[in-house]
Structure 1
């Protein structure tokens, strides 16, 4: 007689996290377990279902056609399980107020939010994007549940998500003559990374002048794209079409910056969301 095909909730959750985060390693981080344990759970799930759900390579994880079909059912199963645990009533929506430095918030942000929503569709995410200094200050004043910022800013001490390289970017049409001051686009003072970039130019003995002062990284990108000036930016947030001109113009190397996640201890549900946030950000940023 055939054994009943009963699905284990923890195993289904592991599958959903691997699918959403695109990584066994990131799923293991969220579940506080090892990559080997996640792999074993997924093999057992595939055996139970009789289908291969994931394609694995050393650098990439993707869903098979059967995995794509199973994922919505997996989400429904986990949602029903949570409703059963909460007494057949949907749990009240949770809220996460998140601050992200505009030097860090790159084109991965929509994917990051999608992964948070996939993990907890009832989650209300309030995102505030500002300078690292402002994000850290708001976190320190208790206005944010979590913050992602550059470690070098005041009191930005937390879990290191990854190390971000910074480069000098300009439009391909931008012209620079070494005998003339470098036209620089930077954020308005006080900005920690503005100071680092200016200090690097001064230490290298390279004259510069402000050609554009922006209120955010989006404005800096616009100035770069318009060919107005050179800006020090993370490659992830550099505008499309901009090129790294550091070596060509003989500009000083910029030190990579640690990007950290600061989060307050709270309810178990909030801690789980923060774990997913950290894993999703590393995954989305390709780290």
Structure 2
């Protein structure tokens, strides 16, 4: 097996320093990084050295200069050595690209999940536009450095609502992420994806349509979705009347789960 050192960094849009107290797990941490010290500065600046337009509204400043809130992680993981002995090997074999790509996807999927949960916890256009992943490993005398960028091409960078927490909400938010990042998220993933997709729309009409679809997926049977608006409205009205004593167990009531 080969050990791979991975460094993951991404600027986080539309949040303030209150996010620094949030713990999303899996080795990630929110950090305050000054622009001149960003490890990926060249990736998000233009030919004049200015930040690209996607990040302008997320810049903060203090007495030490301008900075961005970033998410970062450093870790070591293992991949299988493709070189089994004497033979003919290509550059692709030496780079172990498929294994690195698979690990990168696990990391980006995890970040997507946790930012989706933050959207459910409180309003604000928090999230990433680009995630930079650097994987470094050696095979024999060859040192490989794989630099990958995961880009969210549909990311709404015009919604300027800032994700901000009051002190009492930090602990509640951490508990929320801890409680719902497992099987609860998996059960409602399709609904949550639809909701987040609505948030990423730049026009109100399309966004509202996605929100409506997310509610239909949550509250209606599969065969009713998109057909019985009156049923949906009644279900939505009934949902307002749920209390801790009469709310149905969503894990047992499979009729409201996405197919």
TM-score w.r.t. the length of structure 1 is 0.20
TM-score w.r.t. the length of structure 2 is 0.22
